[in-house]
Every structure is written in structure tokens, then in C-alpha cells.
Structure 1
Amino acid sequence: MSYELQLASGIFRIPIEIRRAIYADLINTAGIHITLSAQGGVQLTRCLEPDLAAGNVGDERRPPGEWAPNRLIWARRVDSSWGPHWECEETALAKFKEGHEDSQGTSGCSFLTICKRLYFEIQSWMSEQMCYHMTDLAAASRLLNPNIASLGTLGSPELSFIHSLLPNTTKLDIILSLPLAFFQHFQPHPSTQDEDGEEVQHLKVLAETWLALPQSLGNRLPNLRRLRIWLDHTDRSYWSVVDERAVLRHFEQLARSPHLDLSCDLPKLHPLQEDPARHFVNNDVVGESGSSSSLPPIQVRRRLRQRWRAKRTDVGYGWPYWVRDFPLAFGTAWFIDVSLEELEQLEKTMELEGIRMEELLSNAQHLSGPTLADIHP
């Protein structure tokens, strides 16, 4: 990459505070998604900053103004591997399809080639101010690989720019919506069925990437001060079937750094399936040594799990279907006037007293007729 050194440029006569305000207005986003294209290039796209802790259950993804939503649009949205960032993905795909290139597009670093001094100043500002979002383990693996730059295989100005940003990056979000089989890989006795299958081998590679991620982050992002991890699986099963501790155990040492704020956004647990040996319960985390701490190294926030799902088939998408998770009565007409907090407490009390909400809902549904999810399973 060549630069035109402009030490006398008028912009550098402006105070640094004003220059930074100009950069903020020029880039116009507090977050950037880093993804890899099908050709292996880097794509930088603007983040629309969704609330990761909000109850994004899938209703919010219905195309507006339609009583019968466009099935393909809605299904594609609820199937997004970007989780709550589905709208960020949709916006990015639309721009790429239309061939648009802005300051966060496939040629997002071109305006920085004007001046070397400007390049490094904006780079420094972005490292401090921006939150970077990764929704793909394969992209994270490549970007955090310390050998890429030394091997001279950056391949594009964008990838070179990102690698120069990493050492000073302070905020990173990792958002992963993956098959249940990925999370089951970390169980004490994972299933070995069809272990030679292509899909199983792919998930195995992803699992190995995940296990190596904490060390990669520690080595490549020495100035990281905030790391937020958002996880979910795409199966009908409750989130509670996941061994959270096994999945996140390798992050505990990273989380003990006094300079890093590490938190996880995880779905709510079914009260009958809570297991302190497998789950983060009551803000009490047991580390590898077996000792407990009232201040866990991994701070966990619970959220409503995505309820509407869609399955891709050989001929396209079917209708989105409703997946139950705790609280099971959420979204039903019988509890529409009950707050979420009240519903959680009510359902937890009922379950612990032997009253099964799933049975009550099944019986009520049978009496009241089929739902959309029943018509379009």
C-alpha cells in the first residue's frame, strides 16, 4: 500500500478533539462487523447496535405491514447465524449484492490511503473507540492467526488494516449461533456417531478453533478490555441441555485478568434442568480447581432465547416454527397480561411443585385448536 505523506495538510491544524469528531461523523458507527467473503477477502460492515440482552425471539424479524409475512424473508432472518445482528447481516448482504462500497464496505480502507499520518491516526482512534463484532469462528481463526502477517498472505488492504488494528483493539463481541452438535462436542462423553462425516468434521474443526480462541485473544489482542460472548444453538432442544461450563471453561483463565471485563449473554435455564456442575447458577461459578467464588470470573447474563426458527431444505425454507424454552408460557394468550419476571417466578414455582407447564400448554393448545407452528411445522 502506498501513501502520500501530507504533513502540511490543513486537517492537522485542527485540534485533535475536533479531528476525532470528524472521524466519528465520517465513519458513523460505534461498531464494525468483520467477516470473510466467499473469496477469502475481508468485509467491514456497519453494526446497527442491537441490544444483545433483549428478548429477540423472532417476532421482530417479520416483514412489517403484512398479516401473512413473506415466508422466505422471515425464514431467512430467523435462520441468520448472526443472531441478534440479523439486520446487520441483511443490510450488509444487500449492499454487497447491489455493488455498493462505503467506508465500511469491501473497499472500506481506500480513503485511508490518501495520507500515511491520517491512516495511523484514524487507526488509533478506531482501536480505542470501536467495538468489533465477529459472528464466524472461521473468520476469527484467520484474523487472529499470528502467522498470516509474517507469511505475507494478507491479500488485501482491508485485511492488512484489520491486522494492524488488532494489537490496540479494546472491545470485541463474539456472536455465535451454531448447531447443537457443536456444543455437545465439549461434553465429557461426546457422541462419536458418524465421526467421519463431512459435517461432523467441520464441527470438530470449529470446536478446536473455539478451544484455541482464548489463547489467541490473549496473544493477539493485548489491549483488550471488554469481551462479550453471545451463544445459542439452533436445535429445538432446550438451551439447558448445553454444558455451559464445559463450553466456556477455557475462557476462565482469560477472564481472571484484572484488565478484562468478560461477560456472556446466555439463554435462560429451565428450573428443573439447572445443574451447578454444568450451568452457571445463582452467580456462583466453580473454577477448574473446584473452589467456588461469589464473584465469578465469567459474568453471565440471562436472556430470552430466540423462539422462531426456520429450517433450510433442498428446495428452500419451510415456514418458521415456534421453539419452546423457559419460560414455556411466554408468548401464549393465557399469560399475555403477566410480566416476564412474574411469569418466570410463577412457572418456576409450578415446576418445582410438580406442575408441568409443558403438559398444561399442550392440553390447552389441544382444546383451543392448532397454532401457526402446528400448521407449518
Structure 2
Amino acid sequence: MASPVTRRESRHFSFISLPIEIRDLIYANVWAPKLQLHVFFKNGRLVTAACLGAQTGDESTGTRVPSGEEMTLADNRPRGWASRDLVILRLHSTWGNHYRCEEDWNPMPGHISTERNACISLLLVNKTIYAESIRFLSQHLEITITDTDTALYLNDDAKPVIHDSPPPMIPRQLLRSIRSLNVTLFGSVDLFIALALARDYNATTPLEVVNQEFQQKVRATMDSNQERAVGLLPKARQWHQIWPGIAALPHLVRVNLWMNHSSFDSWSNINERAILEPLQRATWSPEVELVVYLPNIASDNIVPGEQFNNNDEDGLNFRVVRRVRCPDRVAEDSRVLFIVHDMSAREQEEMGDQGLSWDLGEMSIEMDRI
């Protein structure tokens, strides 16, 4: 019969004494539910949230909102958990096709969020486990970013230390060592027009010069409110600054970019080629797989000089995948909300024949009250 382990002997056993293969298996079990994270700034602090996966548009088929998410408008009473306010929030969320992740991180009253990122504390145990966790996570962690401020944080410039700011929930060292990155850009039409117009400027151009010339270009387009578009110029400049830094991440092998706007307008009004020029200009490792997910455009709406078609991929360093817009536009009859994808002229006529109205004014007013 083996002698029991004494307290003194038990002190000699440690996790670090296990073979590295065993430790990796333990890390895999600890981190398994947390290998997909959103990273963003909240009140000046870099924080994380669980990623539940992108909504690919399967539920946006141009028909009624799926069972369980319908909304009876006649008496303004929700038939499922997706209330009218929740649908409005989804349509205006900057998280785009990750709107369910945002709802989980910041749930509406009466909803429960999933446990998120408790295992981040594993990085605080000691230096050895910190280093091993960074090594393991850099190989398996998938990060999703939904704003340009966080994307700019990934660049190689030294970041100033702000002693009064709370510590980040995830080390920058880990962010810069990731292999898989998702970037979602979802905003107003004005933002995308600003991105296209700002492509001729770089970080070395004096801001006052950029601002003056930019206003002239905005006035020339007649497609956007001048004041709003000019106000988005700093964000547009950030967009052109982030991609060289992302391309320079040393261990990156996969990048997915999702783009969509929150307007009722067709995506065919957006100059995709101008907006994606920074990706084309960046120097990518041949090992990086770069995929850009763009909303569907009806073939009769494609402008060759502004949108991509199936014949363009030979000259690009990224692959273009078309998808259903999600969440997109909301059409109403007297009873039910409809989520509708980007339609051709014929499809719009067919929806009109069904008696649907396309006035979002009421929903916009309600959004202002939330």
C-alpha cells in the first residue's frame, strides 16, 4: 500500500512540472469556450466580450423575421423575445453582423448575459503561465474588432503609458501575436462616403489642408450631408492608417473583413474600390488569407469602376465574397416586421406589389427615444 503524500511532499508538486503536452491539453480545456473574443475600448479601457459568431445573413431572406422573433405591430406587443426596440437597436448597432454578441455583452433588461472571459485571470498567475498562455492563445485565439480605434491599437508604434487608466483586460502582446483576426465595419452611409473621399490623403497631410479639400469634395458629390461627412474625416483617416499595421502583425495567417452600412439605401451606392484601396496597398505576407465580405449587389446595379465583380480577383490580394445584408432594412405591413436584403429593381417591384411600405421614419423617431 502506497504511503500517503505528506503536506511537505505535496509542496514539491507544481503545474509547471507537468510535461508541456499535458499543460497544453489543460490550457485547451480551460480556454476552449473562450477562444473567440471581441476586443474594444470602453471608458478608455481595453475590454473583451465573448464572441458568439457572426450572423451571416441566413435569417435575412427578404421574408418575415424568423419564427420567435416576429413582432405584432397592430397592438405593439412582442410575440417573441426580439421586441421592436431590440430590432431597432440591431439596425443601428456598430457591431454589424455581431449584434447578438453585443446583446450578450450588454443585455437588455430581463436578459441574462453568458459568463465572459473569467479565464483571462489565468494570465495573472505567474510569469511562466503567462508566457505559456500567450503562446497557446496566439495560436488558437480569434479576435473580432468592430471599431477603428481598437484596430489602430494593433499597430507597431509604442503606446504611451497612462498611469491613471485601468489595466487592459487582454495584453497588447497577445493581440499582436494573434493568427486570426475579424474586422467589422458597420456605420452610416456618410461614413462610407467619407472613407471613399479620404483615400487620397495620408497621415502626413496637414489636417487643415485635408479638411478644406475634403469639404470641397463632399460638396461636389451631392450624396452626403456635408457637416456629417466632414465630421467623420478623422475616422476615415484612421481607416487608411490601420491596414499597414494589421498587415505587419508577425504571426497573422487569416483576416476576414465584413462591411455594411445601416441605411435603407442600396449598397450599390458605395464605392467599394476606393474604400478597399488601403488593403490593396498594404504589404501582406503570402501566408495571409484575406477575405472581404461585401453585401449582395444585383447585377444590374453594379458600376464596374466602383464595385467588384467576379472577374476582378486575379488582380487583388484579397478574395471577395458576396452575402445577404444582415441586419438590413425593415419593411412593414400592418402586422409584421420584415428584414429585407439588398434587392434588384425587379425584387423591389415585387415587394411593392405585396403592399409593403418602406417608410422608416417612425422607427427612426423611436430610436431617438431609446
TM surpasses 0.5 = yes
- Does structure 1 residue 278 correspond to structure 2 residue 306? yes
Aligned CA-pair RMSD: 3.7
Separation in 2 of the partners of 1:49 and 1:9?
A: 40
Q: By how many angstroms is 1:141 displaced?
A: 2.3
- Does structure 1 residue 41 correspond to structure 2 residue 45? yes
For the structure 1 residues 320 and 9, does the alpha-carbon distance in structure 2 shift closer, same or farther, using more than 3 Å as the test? farther
String of CA shifts for 1:176-213, please: whole Å, max 9, x gaps: 11111111124468424764x4x434421111000011
Aligned match of 2:94: 81
For the structure 1 residues 137 and 62, does the alpha-carbon distance in structure 2 shift closer, same or farther, using more than 3 Å as the test? farther
For the structure 1 residues 42 and 64, does the alpha-carbon distance in structure 2 shift closer, same or farther, using more than 3 Å as the test? farther
Aligned match of 1:93: 106
Q: By how many angstroms is 1:235 displaced?
A: 1.0
| Aligned ranges 1:171-190 → 2 under 5 Å | 171-187=180-196, 190=217
- Which of these residues, 202, 222, 235, is aligned with residue 206 of structure 1? 235
2:270 partner letter: V
Task: Report if aligned partners of 1:109, 1:157 keep a CA contact under 8 Å in 2.
Answer: no
Aligned length: 316
Aligned-residue sequence identity (percent) comes to 23
SS at match of 2:232: helix
SS at match of 1:94: coil
- Which of these residues, 326, 329, 341, is aligned with residue 306 of structure 1? 326
Aligned match of 1:59: 65
Separation in 1 of the partners of 2:90 and 2:67?
A: 6
SS at match of 1:119: helix
Task: Report if aligned partners of 1:186, 1:243 keep a CA contact under 8 Å in 2.
Answer: no
- Which of these residues, 129, 139, 142, is aligned with residue 128 of structure 1? 139
Q: By how many angstroms is 1:324 displaced?
A: 5.3
Aligned match of 1:139: 150
2:79 partner letter: W
- TM-score, normalised to structure 1, is 0.72
SS at match of 2:86: helix
Aligned match of 2:348: 358
String of CA shifts for 1:74-109, please: whole Å, max 9, x gaps: 32233322122111111111399999996626xx64
Task: Report if aligned partners of 2:156, 2:245 keep a CA contact under 8 Å in 1.
Answer: yes
Task: Report if aligned partners of 2:49, 2:117 keep a CA contact under 8 Å in 1.
Answer: yes
Q: By how many angstroms is 1:51 displaced?
A: 5.2
- TM-score, normalised to structure 2, is 0.73
Task: Report if aligned partners of 1:61, 1:74 keep a CA contact under 8 Å in 2.
Answer: no
Separation in 1 of the partners of 2:110 and 2:190?
A: 32
Task: Report if aligned partners of 2:190, 2:225 keep a CA contact under 8 Å in 1.
Answer: no
SS at match of 1:224: coil
Task: Report if aligned partners of 1:141, 1:213 keep a CA contact under 8 Å in 2.
Answer: yes
Aligned match of 1:325: 342
SS at match of 2:218: coil
For the structure 1 residues 307 and 170, does the alpha-carbon distance in structure 2 shift closer, same or farther, using more than 3 Å as the test? closer
Separation in 1 of the partners of 2:361 and 2:237?
A: 40
Aligned match of 2:255: 227
Separation in 2 of the partners of 1:97 and 1:225?
A: 40
String of CA shifts for 1:252-309, please: whole Å, max 9, x gaps: 1337531211011111112112122211101414xxxxxxx3x631101110113544
Separation in 1 of the partners of 2:340 and 2:60?
A: 13
